[in-house]
Each structure stands twice: as structure tokens, then as C-alpha cells.
Amino acid sequence: MFFHDLFLSLMNALKSFSSIAISAFTLLLIVACGSSNKDKEVEVSQIPNDLINETSPYLLQHAYNPVNWKPWAESTLKQAVDENKLIVISIGYSSCHWCHVMEEESFENDSVASLMNEKFVSIKVDREERPDVDQVYMSAVQLMTGGGGWPLNVVALPDGRPVFGGTYFSKNQWLKALEELSVLYDRDPSKMVAFAENLMEGVNSLALVSPNKETSLITASEIKDITDLLENSLDQDNGGLKGAPKFPMPTLLSYLLRYSYQFNDVELREFVVRTLDLMKNGGIYDQLGGGFARYSVDENWHIPHFEKMLYDNALLIQTYSEAYQLTGKESYKEVVRETLAFVEKELTNDIGAFYSSLDADSRDTEDSKIEGAFYTWNETELENLLKSDTDLFKEYFNLNESTKWEEDRFVLFKSIPDNEFAAKFDLTESELKKLIQKWKDKLLPHRNLRNRPNLDDKILSSWNAMMLKAYISAYKAFGESHYLDMALQNANFIMVNQVLDNGQMYHVYKDGEKSINGFLEDYAFTIDAFLSLYEVTLDPKWLDTSKMLVDYAIIHFSNENGLFYFTSSLDKELIVRKTETFDNVIPSSNSVMAQNLLKLGHYYANRDFLDRSSKMLSIISSEFKNSPSSYANWLNHSLNFSNPFYEIAVSGEDSKAIIIELNEAYLPNKIISGSTVESDLPLLKNKFVENSTYIYVCVNGTCKLPVEEVSLAIEQIKK
């Protein structure tokens, strides 16, 4: 009767999709479980499971678990139906610390494996390979618990509909939950089916986007009001969003930077600068080797979650490059330089593609797997390496009793600018710079002798496109030809390996093979990067390819409400087909696609693209006030309509030199086109004059008088 009453009450509560009620379900299941399962060890074969045939580093990590893991596949789902077994769907990624913890505690345990193998069909999913699967079951867990994260662990009916879920579970919690779910399914499966049906109503409701009844675009005054609301969530002392853990939010910072520029909001610009300064000085930034960790566990950017993700670093490089263009702060150039050096050393292969991530964990001197072991220091190490410099080094990086982390380890971070530190210790800034380099020269070789974090060497099209654009952003800001060379190398890799002649893309490249049909994010970020590449090379190939990819996406991803589905019409449907609209650390694929359509609409004078772009914004804009920080890239897009959006056309033999100079400026409300010869591109048509190079500043095809100097063109824009 207990479970009958429990499901009945929860089903009633689910009619209003109450996350509190579903949380109660999760809690009651665990509390209700007794201790009937003794922690007996069962003989389980150590031969590999079905994951041994996969290429994902995360799946291969689990290939020798005693759990009979299977990959996400039609045959696996059919097996669950044929055997009438519940499904365990466990989702994570290779550099995830708590994924490793749960593996060691539960999935390598013979008792847990015995229960899972007998009563369940168990599926392991790499969330980076299958973001579509992750999105669906993350929605379910967020409804059940009010939160989410990884590892993501879900129990589903044989048809894939979820009935239970959460993130990390201890071994005892996991065993108890699985036991009770198994007993309940054996005794009265109809109750679980009824619960799943109600839960799926909630999941489906999250997948729906209600069109905005207002067809007019958001105005400048409305954007200002929404940004005022957004400012309430900002941490004015520590930068970023309030609370901990604290994630770098490059998409949000880029929007705030652009807003501060276009609305002349000095205070907001100072906030962005303060945030960027605190992040680059914090422990979240690798002070010795460059590159950013995924987030800090505290409000002060001090103690990071040590995994280094390609996408975080790509988006932060873009933001710091933009901030340099606007502020001219040399320290931002240094951060970009060091982070790109880290990417080239640690995350780049010999054909110009970028790997996915470095693990948070690595093995210490006693061969124990420890979070942050590669990056942290103890006093004895520092004293042995730095000798007489130790005290000054400890002052510079705030190393004292109060800043020690676990097991008396230190994470390096700075609290005052270099010029203030130099003055405090009677050093010139040049002397301090040499001293810092001396310290790095001593510490880095020692650190490189440690056991290195594991590398996730799969290559994702969407993440590669983000890093491709990062290199282009750095090239625009600093003009270093090496950055353009790296961008071209990666762009050609994507074109040759991940894009087919008909515009279809693949999501994954591993061991010389492409796999998994592309998701909307692959198209959105690749188009975005190729458009940016066109602006620095003036090679129409990148423009034409972008249009081809958009045309393909419109055919295979279009949603009836005017947005785009995350998955292609060619893919087998999951239990729900999602439309991604929330901007998080990574901007949503729909918001990026909306901006792509706007740019291509201007380049090709394509009214359909322009209308689609504005309609997408109109659909979403009514949601902005509910959670402004969740729509940062949409808000960025709204500035394209609330303020003038400029088409800059450069025509003539000196176009490439002029483009370099134009790209150095922070001009977020524009696109650039150019040619050294006569061109049929609408923005360039009839603008070529022999032996002259002219710059045309236009709005919706209407151009001001052409000028020959970049400074005059910029003046026309700023007026």
C-alpha cells in the first residue's frame, strides 16, 4: 500500500509539474529502502563489457567495470523491451570528478554490478557525444529534484520514459534505490507507468516554446529595463553571478560588455572589467600554465574544479579579446596569449583539430587519484624549488595558513594588480615580470614531471568551431598571423572531415573516423566561426559554406514555431524532441543560429533569413524578464535590432590591409565584407573602382558617402 499511495499522491502533484513533489518521490524512495541488501561480494567476470568497442574516452573508462554496460543504441533499447527490464541510464564525461567517484564507489563494486546486471539493462552515455540524450534526461531530473549535474543517473521504463533520477549517489543510496525500484516494478509496474506518463507531461512541457503573441521586436528601453533586472543577479564584489559555485559566464560578460558600449554604461563596463580581472588573477586560471578551469567552488574564484574544457577556454578567449579591443588592457592580451599556448600544447593534434578536455583528477606521488594533484603545491616543494624567492612568491600568490586547501596544498591566486605589488616591494614592473618568469621556469618543469591529467581526445565539431572563432577573435584583436594560420588549419579540418558536400555535418571525430549525425550546435557554431573567418580572409568560400549549412539546417532542423530543433529530422526520435533556447556558459544553439541568419541575410540580401532571425527573437523575447541571465546571447542579438546594425563594405586592391585595421576596433554592431576585385555579393556589387579602395558604411543597404580611411569609417559608425 505504501508505494500505491506514494505514486497516487505524486501523480496528482505531477499534474501541476511540481518539482517539490517529485523531489519527495526521490527522497521517499531512498528513505523507504531498507538494508535488506547485504554488501556481499559476488564473483563478476573481469572481461570487458560492450563499451570496449566504443571510441569515447569516457565510455572506455567504464569498459572493465563489472557492470554489463552497453552504449546508447537501438539494439540496447530493444533488449530492454524484449526482456521487460528497467533501464539504468548513467550520463557523464571523462573529465568529471564526481563521475569518477561514483564509478569507484558503485560501478566497480561487485554487489552493485550483480544487482544491475540481474535486474536492469544498463546504458552508459558520454554527454559530450550525445548532448541530445543528456538534454532529455537532464530535464527529467531537474523536474524530479529541482537541480541537475553530472554524473546524471536515471532509471527508466523499458521504453525509455524516466521514473527516477538524480546526480551523484553513494553506494548505499544507489543500492537501496535500485532494489526498491526493482521490487516495485516486479510487483506493480502499472504504478510506475502511470508515474512516467505524468512525468513525461512535465518533460514535454519544458520542450515547448510558446510563441510570443507580440510580433514587434524588443525596444532599446525594454532592453535597458531587462538589463537593470539582470544587474540584481550580479556579484558586485567578486564579479560574475552571485553565489557559489561560480562559473565564468563568457556569453553573459560579452553581452554586458556590448551593452555598456552601445548604451555608454560606464558602471557596467567597470563591472565586466572587474570580473575579468578577478578571474584571470584567481585560482580558476592556471597561473603557471595558462588556461581556465571549469568553475570555482567558492565565490572568490580561488579553488577551482580543476577540469579544463575546450569550450570554456574558447569562449573566454573570445571575451578577453573583445575586452582588449575596448579597453586596451595589456593583461588581457597576456591571458589570451597564455591560454592559446596552453590549447596548442595540451589540446591540439597534428592536423589542427582540438581535443575536448583535461581531467580534474590525476595521480599523486603515492598513485592515488586526487582532484587537482597536478596543479597544487605544498610548502616543502616550493621551498626546495624557489629557495630564497619563496617568501616573495608566497606573498605574490597569497600562500599562507588561511589559504591552504585540502591536505595542506596551495592553489595559486593573486589579489592585487602587479603594479601595486611591485610598488609594495620596491620593484619595477619590469623586474617583477622577470621574476615571475623566473618562478615559472623553475616550477613548470617540475610540474611537468608529475602524473598528468587524462586527456579526452575526442574531437567535437561544435567545440572546435568555438575554438576556431577564438583564434579569429585573437587575430582580430592582436593581428598575430600565427593565430590566423591556426584558424585556417582548423577550419580546413572541419571542412574536409566533418562537412559533406550536401551540407550535412557530423558531431564527432575520433581515431580518423567521423561519427554521430550533427546536432544544431554543430551547425550554429560552425556557421558562426566561418562567418568570422570570412571577415578576416575575405575568402567567399567561408561565406558560401555558411549559407549551405544554414540551408541544410532549415530543411532538417526547423521547428513549426519558427525555431530549430536540437536534433535532425534524419535522427531516430528520443522520448521528446528538444528545442534548445537557454543561454548558459555556452550560448544556446538557437540564439547563435538567429544571429547567423541575421548576418547571412545582410550578406545575401536574403529577406527570408532576416525575417526568420527577427521572428526567432520575437518568439523568445517575452521570456527575458523571467531569467535575464539565461538569455544573454538572445539579449546580445536584440541589440542588433534596437541599435543601428552596420554593413561595412570594403572594395579595392587594398581591402585586406584595411580589413585588418577595421577588425582591431571594438565594433560589435556590424558585419564586414570586402573584395580586391569586382564582386557580385550584394553588399559589394558596383562598388569596385580601379586603383582605389573605398570603405562603405551602410545600414540595410543604404550607404553613407564612401571614405578611404578607417578612422573616418569608424567615425561614421560611432555617430
End-to-end alpha carbon distance in the chain: 74
Domain boundary among 642, 666, 688: 642
101: domain CATH number?
3.40.30.10
Do 557 and 653 fall within a single domain?
Answer: no
Q: Write the pLDDT tens digit of every residue in 593-637.
A: 999 999 999 999 999 999 999 999 999 999 999 999 999 999 999
- Looking up cell 544554414 gives 550
Last residue of a domain, one of 592, 612, 642: 642
3-state secondary structure string, 51-76? HHHCCCHHHHHCCCCCCCCEECCHHH
- Residue 144 has a pLDDT of 86
Strand pairing class (361-363; 369-371) = antiparallel
pLDDT of residue 655: 96
Q: Are residues 677 and 618 in the same domain?
A: no
Q: Tell me the pLDDT tens digit for each residue of 398-436.
A: 999 999 998 899 999 999 999 999 999 999 999 999 999
The helix or strand, by DSSP H or E, that contains position 435, with its residue range, turns out to be: helix 429-447
175 domain residue, yes or no: yes
Point out the residues of the chain with pLDDT beneath 50. 1-45
664 belongs to a structural domain: yes
Residue 370 lies in a domain: no
212 in any annotated domain: no
Are residues 111 and 230 part of one domain? no
Residue 148 domain-assigned?
A: yes
In a domain, 369, yes or no: no
User: Do 133 and 272 share a domain, yes or no?
Assistant: no
Do 580 and 443 belong to one domain? no
Together in a domain, 348 and 483: yes
The whole model's pTM is what?
0.92
Q: pLDDT value at position 211?
A: 62
Domain total for the chain?
4
Domain boundary at 642, 662, 690, which? 642
Domain identity same for 164 and 284: no
**How far is residue 238 from each of residues 72, 235, 252, measured CA to CA in Å?**
42, 6, 15
- CATH code at 602? 1.50.10.10
Judgement on whether residues 434 and 470 belong to the same structural domain of the protein: no
One domain for residues 578 and 706: no
Say what the pLDDT of residue 41 is. Answer: 40
Inter-residue contact 562 to 616 (CB < 8 Å) = yes
Same domain, 585 and 478: yes
- Whether residue 213 lies inside any domain: the answer is no
Q: What is the pLDDT of residue 19?
A: 38
Q: Please report, for residues 426, 472, 540, 603, the alpha-carbon distance to residue 675 in angstroms, rounded to integers and kept in the order given.
A: 54, 19, 9, 13
pLDDT value, residue 163? 94
Structural domain contains residue 367: no
Domain span holding position 492: 220-360+456-642
Examine the domain organization and report whether 336 and 433 are in the same domain. no
Contact 124, 53 (CB under 8 A): no
**CA distance readout (Å), 345 to 90, 474, 486:** 32, 17, 13
The answer on 187 and 42 residing in a single domain is: yes
Q: Please enumerate in sequence order all residues whose Cβ is within 8 A of that of 476, keeping only pairs 6 or more positions apart, or say none.
A: 321, 325, 535, 536, 663, 664
